[in-house]
Structure 1
Amino acid sequence: MGERHSKWVATDRVFPRSETNPMDGVICIVWPKALWLAAHITGGIAAIFLFPSLLGLLIFVALTALSICLGHSVGMHRLLIHRSFSTSKWLEYTLVWLGTLVGMAGPFGMIRAHDMRDWHQRQTLCPPHPSHGAGFWRDAWWQLCCEFRLINPPHFQIEEEVANDPVYAFMERTWMAQQLILTVPLFLLGGIGFVLWGICLRISVSLIGHWAVGHYAHRRGSQIWRIKGLPSQGYNLSGLGLITFGEAWHGNHHAFPHSARLGIEPGQMDPGFGVIRVFEKLKLAWNVQLPDTQPAREGLYRVAPLASNDHREA
């Protein structure tokens, strides 16, 4: 597994070696990533100006909400990556597949991108790429089209039950081609226009929106919790809970990464957690984690006063 460096903290899937240094790396363009985004931005622009359609707009909104909420937020983030609740395998596959349709990566790629960023942000030194430390346009370029490659990367290990799962392996190999499952019926329903609305515009907005939320949620916003000694902190983006399905409460997530509930303060809307609660009532979800069901992160302290009903009542 590799020798752990005494200076750098390990996480569940990332184990620094003796020669690993989180600051020692280069930012490289990833051409498939850049071209994928450029193609969908072009298609999305074409949808708006060449194929204006109210039904196309409704398809875009519905598929974006479905893939981001049930797929990315509930399936990929809270279930596959953090295991903040348990469910049956068929539902897990369905939710993660919907997350693959967002167009960021397959299940293994999403785990790796998330956990490497999380590992960097848990170190006492963190370069500007993983911490969203660059300015608006440079950070957009870095995050959407590039990656930070360490000279001596840590050992990365996905748990065997996921890494050896043939369904996830298939999703990983074919994550771009999975869009065809939607492309064919959209084309039959409304031709190339519906494909551009339901595939290209949806993917481009989802990818850019995901980056934008991450950019601002690591730079400014309201802050209730801090992690002592870390240069990279999370912030809550007030007013965005509904349209981000709860992912805007990133300061809460830094504080309680195990929690299925991200909107833990009064008034913080969290539709993703609402979906999990519905699953729980239907006996489709169990072992739902809340902020107080596991020990607090080391160094966690509250910087805002307690509200009338704090996170322990969630």
Structure 2
Amino acid sequence: MAETDVESIPEPAEHQPGTARSEPRRKTISNSYVHRLQRRHFLLFDVLPIFGTVAAVAFLAVHPFGVTELVLLLAMWIVTGLGISVGYHRLFTHRSFKAAPSVAAVLAVCGSMAGQGGLVSWVALHRRHHECSDREGDPHSPNLAGSGLKGRLRGLMHSHFLWMRRHEYPNVVHYAPDLLKNRSLVRVARLYYYWIVLGLLIPTVIGGLVYQSWTGAVSCLFWGGLVRIFVLEHIVWAINSFLHMFGTRPYRSREQSGNGGIFALITFGEAWHNNHHAFPESPSFGLDWYRLDPGYWLVKVLEISGLVWDLKVPSKDRRESKRISDKSSPTAGAAA
């Protein structure tokens, strides 16, 4: 998912200090100022990485792709991907475990470097997605654009990419009051654009030092920065789009989420999407030890280290109560 930064969006007048509330709190905000911010974020962090990836390929004629570029691409992708999956998603959105303030801050910074939206905005948007999933109000459902091949293709394009250009903005006062009360996290969130720049500077500086040339610095900026953002974005967006239209469904849930376990490793476990929608409070998306879930591996390492605690993994009985029997669903087999 991607969204603009919450700190740039004014709170509705009826919620500002000293103003009497004359109407119920609005769940979403939609005005020209919000839409301008959305377009700016869309162009800078969703469209620009596409051109950056094309430029990286073209730059191979000037500087060949080497081990340094590969290491930086993978390292920055893992760091920022876990920041989104473990930090933005499992910790801040669903509060599936508790973390020490230092761990929370590090995860918030790593997630911010991904360029997929400011912390509070991302959380508010994802909570609204769960509230309205695959129904009216869901900002990125692929299943609301009509039937037939044309409708399905339109839905996939909308949910994967186009929805970010302009949409109703979830009111963070309604959807993320817990984060707004956390002053340390708000301070981190206010530096969202600085964290993105940091995520671009790190590979650039390392590349310049390793290669001792401007071409090495630019090459590593491309591969460790823009290409990395491009790759991670499309991996995350595929969860929103394809796994709400395709995949296996071992558990009952009110939307059309599916598991795509074959992609579990590269999605940091996010591809167990039906599992997640069935048990959104769980820090484990795979649920079983043999289902690859790198995000949960990190959570467990942090738990062993005493840095996180109170993991809300559903019991076996609760899981079985929501399981779709093989008789009622031929897709709910072991491959799910």
TM-score between the two structures when normalised by the length of structure 1: 0.77
| TM superposition shift of 1:33 | 2.5
Change in 2 beyond 3 A, CA 1:66/1:20: closer
| 2:40 paired residue number | 32
| TM superposition shift of 1:188 | 2.7
| TM superposition shift of 1:235 | 0.8
**Are 1:156 and 2:174 matched, yes or no?**
yes
2:322 aligned residue (301, 307, 310): 301
1:143 aligned residue (163, 188, 192): 163
| TM superposition shift of 1:181 | 2.1
Change in 2 beyond 3 A, CA 1:157/1:139: closer
1:287 aligned residue (310, 316, 325): 310
| 1:113 paired residue number | 125
| TM superposition shift of 1:192 | 1.6
Higher strand proportion: 1
**Are 1:194 and 2:194 matched, yes or no?**
no
Distance 1:141 1:261 in 2: 27
Distance 1:18 1:174 in 2: 31
Structure 2 unmatched runs, 5+: 1-22, 146-152, 208-216, 328-336
Higher helix proportion: 2
| TM superposition shift of 1:78 | 0.9
Query: Alignment identity in percent?
Result: 24
**Aligned-partner residue type, residue 79 of structure 1:** L
Change in 2 beyond 3 A, CA 1:283/1:192: same
| TM superposition shift of 1:213 | 2.0
| 1:218 paired residue number | 244
Q: Contact 1:40/1:204 (CA < 8 Å) preserved in 2?
A: yes
Structure 1 unmatched runs, 5+: 1-16, 307-314
Change in 2 beyond 3 A, CA 1:158/1:137: closer
Distance 1:294 1:200 in 2: 45
Distance 1:19 1:170 in 2: 25
The residue matched to 2:167 in structure 1 has which SS?
strand
1:68 aligned residue (53, 63, 81): 81
1:49 aligned residue (43, 49, 58): 58
Distance 2:308 2:161 in 1: 38
Change in 2 beyond 3 A, CA 1:48/1:294: farther
* Structure 1 residue runs of 4 or more that deviate by more than 6 Å after TM superposition: 17-22, 293-296
Distance 1:97 1:293 in 2: 34
Q: Alignment length, in residue pairs? A: 277
Distance 1:141 1:290 in 2: 32
| 2:114 paired residue number | 102
CA deviations on 1:135-172 (whole Å, 9 max, x unpaired) are 2324334334332469xx79714234x21333322333
Quick check: 281-290 or 141-150, which moved more?
141-150
**Aligned-partner residue type, residue 49 of structure 2:** H
The residue matched to 2:252 in structure 1 has which SS?
strand
TM-score between the two structures when normalised by the length of structure 2: 0.73
Quick check: 207-216 or 243-252, which moved more?
207-216
| 2:266 paired residue number | 243
**Are 1:130 and 2:140 matched, yes or no?**
yes
| TM superposition shift of 1:294 | 11
